[in-house]
Amino acid sequence: MQGTHSTGASLLLWFAGIIYCLSGMHVYIEYGLNVPRYVINGVEQSVPRSGGDLNYLQYVYRKPAYRKDTVLLSTCLFAIAFIALGNMAGNSISFAIRVLRAADVEDPSNGAVRGIALGIAVLTCFIHTVSRRGGIFLNNVLAIIKVLILLLIIVTAIVVGAGGLKKTDNIITDNTSTKHAFAGASGDANGYAQAFLAIIFSFSGFEQPNYVLGEISRPKRKHPIAMILSVSTVVLLYMAVNISYMVVVPKEDQINYPGGVAQRFFELTLGQVSDDKTGIRIFNAFLAIASMGNIIVMTYTAARVKQEIAKEGIIPFAKFFASDRDLSLGRLLKWLQKKGWFTSILRIRWFSPEEHTERTPVGAFILHLISCVVLIFATWGMTPDNAYTLLTSLSAYTINAFFGTFLGIGILILRFRGPPATEGVDNAQSRSAAPLTWSGMTGKRINPALSVTCALIYTIGGLWPVVNTWIKPNSDITQTIKWWLAPAISWIIIASGVVWFLGFVAIAWRTYRNHHKVFVVEKKPHFEDADGFASDDKEGRGSGGLVLVHETVFLSWVGKETLRHRRPEQTAFNGGMDDQPVQPMSLAGTDFDMLVQGQQQEQRQEQQFQQFDQQQPYHQQSQRYQYDQHNQQQQRQQYQQQQHQQYYEDPHGGYGTGFRPSELR
């Protein structure tokens, strides 16, 4: 309302935000089901993985790049922006403000707000570090509470409309009639753009499942259904809540009241029940719960994205930030079990150490916390309310609007120019012909006309506030911070991504000139069946396909001549489980050395085993075959566990990331 000065225009903007949100949902479903792509067993297919926007920008915008598919400009742009702004600093400040006001502190001090904000940020990262399951459980509980709060607002408005609260007037006619709805509407483009950015931030969250897509069981089945149901529910609730405000809160209060529309709503409804400040305190308690829910989910998802960023090798201490470590609650429970303490409780399945033993991206949580703390204290010179406004505007402008625009354009590029070729990790002679069009890749589940329409809406919806926020506002628009501050800082961060890319290229060029080495990123993915093995992409979409459960990453500066003479790696795909290179040439002296030696040793042992088997009588071979069939699953799991342990414990090898199959089901 502060940007539009019109109840009618505000409701229309919310309706436009709903269209934008639903279009963005379709864009993310289309990306999530089809990107990234791998050639597995000679067949190209998509395998969902965590990372969200990072994967999609890398897939579409492959140039400029340091080397082919290595350190892309798009990677650096998104990485720097997301590391800087993809955190819970704004929501942490909001949580602190609401907690203090719920405790009847009318004018909270700056130090108290920052201290509580720091505390909730540290606590949230700690919870997700020690217990992935506990963090998910807490998020689900808070999500239910947030929905109940929205329903409470809607039900309260219905009661007011029915005359149930005698001290509260029903003024929906004054707010929404054709005579009053657009009276005094602002003609300032900047005000409308700022209002739409606030709406974008309110709806932001529909992209969160794509950030952790690799941790969803049967993602090709569950992801689209869950996205459609959840987003549809949220947009309906949000629109109903805004109409509820129109029932109770006068237009002048919506524009000028310092506490905001929601606080005024509770004052005029629940606040009329008693003469004290019960309504205001209840409202602030509700908002504190909502902010904590946002912090919980953002910490969980953003850490996974930052882990994927670290795996690209473009930031310092990449190995530390990209690795998983076991600091889980399960270690403490195992220690208690060994001591013989709380044995009766530990017999309960939910408290079993095996249920809570898991590896989490500890380094990524630390990186996430560092960026959050920096932003909390970088805005020390501003009032807490203005700091929250600035931080949320920066996130909405850069992460949602700016990169959302390029994601929408990316779908149009894939539709009209076609997708890039998928580079197989197996022998090129065994590869099947890849689909030539994006429609052939997406299949019948994605309607081409709807895809183009949603991409256009999402592109325009993101581009409009990116451009219009640079238009100087009129003097009659209420401004709590300088109008140019949010877009200026956003573009400085975006420019920092360009500088980061150019700096990396300069360092790489100097390294090549002095040492004749180039930077190489090699990823060794490990796949598992999501719901039965699928041999092609079409069948995979129907059966659940594959999921990426673990990935070992090798970052190394390799001699140019060594890289040039490397033979194409041939791989064997063992039933959809692991994608393993076989017989690469020696890379002694590089970080790839341990991987190569391990593969060569495994191959020699297998050849000796086969030669010994051929020398045995037929009946012994038959008995061995039956034994192998009986223990195939156990052997496969033991092999994966050994490989997983080797990659984590080897100080000279690569580092692994991901979750085991048992955690996905």
pLDDT for 599: 53
Q: For 484-494, b where at least 16 C-beta lie within 10 A, e where not — what string? A: ebbbebbeebb
Q: Where are the domains of the chain?
A: 7-324+359-500, 516-663
Distances (CA, A) of 642 to 324, 359, 637: 16, 16, 9
Rounded to the nearest 10 degrees, the angle between the axes of helix 132-161 and helix 219-248 is: 30
CATH superfamily, domain at 7-324+359-500: Amino acid/polyamine transporter I (1.20.1740.10)
3-state secondary structure of 333: helix
At 43, is the pLDDT very low, low, confident or very high (cuts 50, 70, 90)? confident
Q: Which residue has the higher pLDDT, 646 or 359?
A: 359
CB-CB neighbours of 502 under 10 Å: 13
The pLDDT of residue 285 is above 50: yes
Peptide linkage before 64 cis (omega within 30 of 0): yes
Could you tell me the two tokens for 570?
Answer: 């041939």
The whole-number average pLDDT for the span 568-593 is: 37
Residue-wise pLDDT tens digits, 485-505:
999 999 999 999 999 999 999
The pLDDT of residue 356 is above 80: no
Q: Average per-residue pLDDT in the chain?
A: 82
DSSP assigned state of 115: H
Tell me how far apart the alpha carbons of residues 126 and 365 are, in angstroms, rounded to a whole number: 8
The pLDDT of residue 334 is above 80: yes
The pLDDT of residue 160 is above 80: yes
Write down how long the chain is. 665
The pLDDT of residue 587 is above 50: no
Percent of the chain exceeding pLDDT 90 equals 50
The pLDDT of residue 36 is above 80: yes
The pLDDT of residue 463 is above 50: yes
Residue-wise pLDDT tens digits, 55-97:
999 999 999 999 988 999 999 999 999 999 999 999 999 999 9
Task: State the amino acid at position 97 in one-letter form.
Answer: I
The pLDDT of residue 354 is above 70: yes
CB within 8 A of 63, min separation 6: which ones? 72, 73
Residue with tokens 């400029």: 64
The whole-number average pLDDT for the span 297-309 is: 95
pLDDT for 445: 86
HEC readout, 518-531? EEEEEEEEEEEECC
Residue-wise pLDDT tens digits, 643-652:
444 444 343 3
446, 156 contact by CB (below 8 A): no
Could you tell me the two tokens for 250?
Answer: 């006068």
Q: Which residue has the higher pLDDT, 447 or 421?
A: 447
The pLDDT of residue 164 is above 80: yes
Distances (CA, A) of 50 to 213, 383, 611, 644: 5, 36, 42, 19
The pLDDT of residue 2 is above 80: no
The pLDDT of residue 605 is above 60: no
